[in-house]
Structure 1
Amino acid sequence: MLDLKETRGEIDRVDKQIIELFEERMELCKEVAEYKLYTGKPVLDRKRELEKIAVLKSMASDEFYAHSIEELFEQIMSMSRKLQYKLLTEEGINNDIGFDIISKLPMENVKVVYQGIDGAYSQQAAMSYFGDNATYHNVLTFKQAMKEVRDGVADYAVLPFENSTAGIVTDVYDLLVEFENYIVDSFDVKISHCLSAVKGTTLETIKEVYSHPQALMQSSKFIDEYGWNKVNCANTAIAAQIISQEKDNTRACIASKNAAKLYGLEVLAEDVNQSSINTTKFIIVSRRKIARREANNICISFEMPHESGSLYTMLSHIIYNDLNMTRIESRPVPGKKWEYRFYVEFEGKSDQPGVVNALSGINAEALNMQILGNY
């Protein structure tokens, strides 16, 4: 019978040798980094790595070991690249991601755009953030709001980003990639929905309920209890306006109490959203690539090669640099079947060395990486 203690001792001896050889290999990688620094060659040479792994796999004694060696050296090469990115950053290569660091956002006499009409939650959010320092105007779509910021018609756009009940606002995520605008701040607004309708309407006469898809989702338990049909609108306030104009007591809307008052509707039920802590996170978007000094969130988007382990490789740059990831979302890439774009948020500042290292690595190894904001 084998002596377990003796066998474990042999494993310890081999592990020590592995560590010594690993450190020796990493020291050689430093020389590679110096060469690349001098010649300007990129850190990632995927063709060379694949050729190298194929040779190493051919040395294995069976298929199991060949697969294990492939996985092992994928990780070793990934760690080697991370070391090289770190060394290049320390030498001043790729150590500026282009954000101007400012003490506070310019807010005097600014022009602010929001999606919707008078009475929209976005209007409420915009006015609570900017107060009397701004002039406000509205547009009908999120895309129009982003265009106005890009084209200089507005200094900022205030857009809903995520709801605690219904999740992300997918259109806004996609538009952040389409337009070269940046998130410069975020804040939470507590949302309290009401069921409103024209005078004479009762719960028994209602057949359809109008609202924005997010508001309908947030209130779905209440709506489904009565079996009412849901009708999507571009905005909760627009839904209130439609109900006010049509004067049909078979229709009602989900909107704020303020919108109901503004459009002369009666509130039939308050707090119809199923969560008592229903909250929407709004973002402030600017065309300027700026970040407040106290900003501590980075948001990026990227696509990646359709290969096994690609997502892990991207996220490993965040892990390796001791950064805390707070969000990950995926969205289909328009025009590409079964391909996805990932949105990742993690804690950090744009001038923090670990952030720069992580972004350098992801940018070099992903497809179409964009920094969406530091806020």
Structure 2
Amino acid sequence: MSSDAAASLDALRERIDQLDNDILHLISERARCAQEVAEVKLDEDPGTRFYRPEREAQVLRRIMAMNKGPLSDEEMARLFREVMSACLALEQPVKVAYLGPEGTFTQQAALKHFGESAVSLPMAAIDEVFREVEAGAVNYGVVPVENSTEGVVNHTLDTFLESSIRIAGEVVLRIHHHLLVGENTRRDKISRIYSHPQSFAQCRKWLDAHYPHAERVAVASNAEASRLVKTEWHSAAIAGDMAGKLYDLEVIHEKVEDRPDNSTRFLIIGNRDAPFSGSDKTSLVVAMRNQPGALHDLLEPFHRHRIDMTRLETRPSRSGVWNYVFFIDFVGHHDEPHIAAMLDEVRLRAADLKVLGSYPQGVL
């Protein structure tokens, strides 16, 4: 290396060191400010909430709008998400229940939304996540609600019918499946593959092409699949990065999902509504009377008020044979006047209507 190049590198490294010092100072200053915010909140209300979903969404949107690169908007928002998560933990760590076990995509979604400083607690079933939140044992829960390939998670929708829990947020996770093996497995001798049924469905064509004769064994989660193959000789697991790292498995085929845009949407559930954030979504469940034109009567106010409906699902009602309820997502917050007017009209036409929550649209 020439002397001029060496001098230039030394100068750049000194500049980086100085910038690191500035970043360290500013992060520490932000953390101290967060502590002062906590003190003010506690003085006003000892039972105050420290985590504010609408506030975090507004901050992340502002950061992404101000970002001028070279890091992407999403990468910059991820960095700030972790800073915010660490600062919040100084005030009060957020406790989050998720559909376990450890290493699942649901845990990955929880950490994506709340940051690595959140305390994440695995639950054995979706209804257990709801119960932990309802009992106040945790602040929030994370449950899957729909996959872009396989559709809705019916258990999640059905649990809302019997619960008073509110939706406080959403997070969309790009799902990448890998074929993983333990250190004892010979790649040319794989005769059994473990995975969750949903993952098998999302990788069906790839498996048919590459392992048509391997036995496919469905288990409760991809993390459980990874645990099983850790010490087996002729088996593999289909799972994600987190499960593979948790059990120290080797990836022998990456991204084996049939659709490259395979994504799952998760809901953040809590005990309170999220205030208006400026870019929100509302979810509700509606039971209509069993009569001709009922679906038209339900949808007409959405059209007339120009409400952007993003999802409509039908589930059997628990109240009678061949009766159905509709799960609806649409853009807007229920406190907005035109949304409130539309909901009032739907209530007059429906047998029952329950707003499940208005919440910030997913930022990351």
TM-score normalised by the chain length of structure 2: 0.69
Per-residue deviation at 1:197?
Answer: 2.6
The 1:203/1:169 distance shift into structure 2, 3 A limit, reads farther
Corresponding position of 1:234: 220
Give CA-to-partner distance per residue, 1:23-76, whole Å, 9 cap, x none. Answer: xxxxxxxxxxxxxxxxxxxxxxxxxxxxxxxxxxxxxxxxxxxxxxxxxxxxxx
State the aligned residue count: 273
Matching residue of 1:134? 118
Output aligned runs, 1:103-252, within 5 Å. 103-104=54-55, 108-202=92-186, 205-225=189-209, 226-227=211-212, 228-244=214-230, 247-252=231-236
Paired position in structure 1 for 2:268: 284
CA deviation map 1:110-166 (0-9, x unaligned): 211111122111112211221244222111111111110011011101222222222
Structure-to-structure mapping, 1:73-92, within 5 angstroms: none
Structure 2 CA distance for aligned equivalents of residues 222 and 209 of structure 1: 13
Alpha-carbon distance in structure 1 between the residues aligned to 2:259 and 2:236 = 21
**Alignment-mate amino acid for residue 241 of structure 1:** R
Query: For residue 238 of structure 1, what is the amino acid of its counterpart?
Result: E
State the 1:198 CA deviation: 2.8
**Please, which runs of 5 or more residues in structure 2 have no aligned partner?**
1-51, 57-84, 360-364
Structure 1, unaligned stretches of length 5 or more? Answer: 1-100
- Provide the secondary structure at the position in 1 that maps to 2:232: coil
Instruction: Provide the aligned C-alpha RMSD in A.
Output: 2.3
- Structure-1 separation of matches of 2:314 and 2:190: 37
Q: Equivalent of 2:252, from 249, 268, 276?
A: 268
| Pick aligned residue for 1:347 from 331, 345, 352 | 331
2:283 match: 299
* Structure 1 stretches of at least 4 aligned residues deviating more than 6 Å after TM superposition: none
**Residue 167 of structure 1: how far off its partner (Å):** 1.8
Cα pair distance change 1:367/1:190, threshold 3 Å: same
Aligned residue for 1:136, secondary structure, equals strand
The answer to whether the aligner puts 1:310 opposite 2:294 as a matched pair is: yes
Q: Structure 2: how far apart are the matches of 1:234 and 1:367?
A: 37
C-alpha displacement at 1:202, in angstroms? Answer: 4.7
TM-score, with structure 1 as normaliser: 0.67
Q: Secondary structure at the match of 2:133?
A: helix
Paired with 1:295 and 1:129, the residues of 2 have a C-alpha distance of: 17
What code does the residue aligned with 1:149 have? V
Q: Which amino acid aligns with 1:329?
A: E
How far off its partner does 1:321 sit?
Answer: 1.5
Contact 1:113 1:156 survives alignment (8 Å): yes
Residues 195-251 of structure 1 deviation map (CA, whole Å, 9 limit, x = unaligned) = 11333435653344322222222111112333344333332212212332xx33443
1:182–1:286 CA contact under 8 A, matched in 2: yes
Contact 1:157 1:286 in 2 (8 A): yes
